[in-house]
Amino acid sequence: FDPKKVKVIFVLGGPGAGKGTQCERLVADYGFKHLSAGDLLREERNRPGSTYGELITEYIKEGKIVPQEVTIKLLENAMSSTLASPPSNEVWSNGQGRFLIDGFPRKMDQAFKFDASVVKSSFVLFFATTEAILLERLLERGKTSGRDDDNKESIVKRFRTFEETSMPVVDYYRKSGKVVEIDSSPAIDVVYEKVKVEMDQRLG
């Protein structure tokens, strides 16, 4: 597809930081197409006949990053099918697409590959809060989410991967001035108000 026709915003932050929650609101107010890398991986794992099912299950439980080829392919496919049948809203009808890519890139090789071969992001929304808050949110969600990584053992592994592997990506984009950091400790509405201010400044 033609990268000039789309605007991509990466949404990063630790496990449970509120990426998905804030993206949902942005979809409603700004006409974004929301693509969560984690959701795409979980869908692929559940797809009958998927070659990668077992691999994805194992990586997610261990909080490790699935090899980039798999994730980038899923994102590219999802972007292509969105462009083939775009959401019916004003933004997309004007021929300009907007994507929120949630939970990606979370490893340097993914960042390099996606920037070079798919499309460069306009900026990065980074949700930051403490591990204590993240843990509380994830354990609470784990009571009903059915996600097999919402348990204490997997959560601790996800935290470690985030610090060691994903924070370097945030710092890398920070050096090029692309990171918009938002404290996601307060209530959902309070966080979203801040997100909107940043969006309005950048999207015009």
Binding-site sequence positions:
16-21, 42, 64-66, 103-106, 110, 141, 147, 158, 186
Is residue 10 classed as helix, strand or coil in its secondary structure? strand
Task: Name every residue whose Cβ is closer than 8 Å to that of residue 182 and which is 6 or more positions away in sequence.
Answer: 125, 126, 127, 128, 191, 194, 195, 198
Tokens of 203: 């999207």
Q: How far apart are CA 98 and CA 32, in angstroms?
A: 5
Binding site for Mg ion (CB under 5 A): 19-20
Q: Which is nearer to ligand UP5, 6 or 191 (CB)?
A: 191
Q: Which is nearer to ligand UP5, 57 or 86 (CB)?
A: 57
Q: Which is nearer to ligand UP5, 92 or 155 (CB)?
A: 155
Binding residue numbers for ATP: 16-21, 141, 186
Contacts with ligand UP5, 165-184, as mask; x by CB under 6 A: -------------------x
Closest approach of ligand UP5 to the CB of residue 108, in Å? 12
| C-alpha distances out from residue 188 to 26, 53, 64, 89, Å | 12, 33, 27, 25
Q: Is 45 in the site for ligand UP5 (CB under 6 A)?
A: no
Q: Which is nearer to ligand UP5, 7 or 107 (CB)?
A: 107
**Helix, strand, coil % in the chain, rounded to nearest 5:** 60, 15, 25
CB 22, CB 127: distance < 8 Å = yes
Binding residue numbers for a ribonucleoside 5'-phosphate: 42, 64-66, 103-106, 110, 147, 158
In the bound state, the residue with its beta carbon closest to ligand UP5 is 38
Q: Is 101 in the site for ligand UP5 (CB under 6 A)?
A: no
| C-alpha distances out from residue 19 to 129, 184, 202, Å | 12, 9, 18
Q: Is 65 in the site for ligand UP5 (CB under 6 A)?
A: yes
Q: Which is nearer to Mg ion, 7 or 137 (CB)?
A: 137
Q: How far apart are CA 6 and CA 98, in angstroms?
A: 6
CB 159, CB 134: distance < 8 Å = yes
Q: Which residues bind ligand UP5 (CB under 6 A)?
A: 13, 15-21, 36-38, 41, 59-60, 63-66, 71, 103-104, 106, 137, 141, 149, 158, 184, 187-188, 191
